[in-house]
Amino acid sequence: MIADIQEILVDEKALEKRVAELGEKITADYRGKYPILIGILKGSSVFMADLIRKIPIPLEIDFLKASSYGAEARSSGIVQLEADLSMDVKGRSILLIEDIVDTGNTLKYLLNRFESLGAADVKVCSLLDKPERREQRVISALKYPMNS
């Protein structure tokens, strides 16, 4: 996999700094709300672990696995939920942790799903954003994009 890397988009120091900034913003925004941070597997796991270390408030974590890619490198547009949450989200503040927001298909599906399940609010924290590939409007939910 390392042989496939052509260039480094974000160096380690910049990444650490931005994760710390995101942690501060999330802490300020969610203080007193006891949010659920939901990692979208598998890509978000390392980013989420780093981020949680920078959020010193009470919170819960959970994971789900959803994708619109299947075995292909291109989005099919059809989202499949492969592993669901283990907790109830009704009335709770949700922060979805994503590695890359690409087409927006998966996020749009999840935003609609959590709204229908009665979440108080749902926002997104993404490591990277590819707005040029967007097929769904999810920008209002991108509260904490990495490259802002």
Side-chain half-sphere exposure of 29, counting CA atoms within 13 A: 17
| Residues making up the chain, counted from first to last | 148
Q: Cα(52)–Cα(124) distance, rounded to whole angstroms? A: 14
In the three-class reduction of DSSP (H, G, I as helix; E, B as strand; rest coil), residue 124 is classed as strand
Q: Cα(49)–Cα(91) distance, rounded to whole angstroms? A: 25
Stretch (H or E) spanning 62: strand 60-67
Buried b / exposed e over 119-131, threshold 16 CB at 10 Å, is: beebbbbbbbbee
- Give me the active site residues, please: 102
Query: Is there a cis peptide before residue 42, judged by omega within 30 degrees of 0?
Result: yes
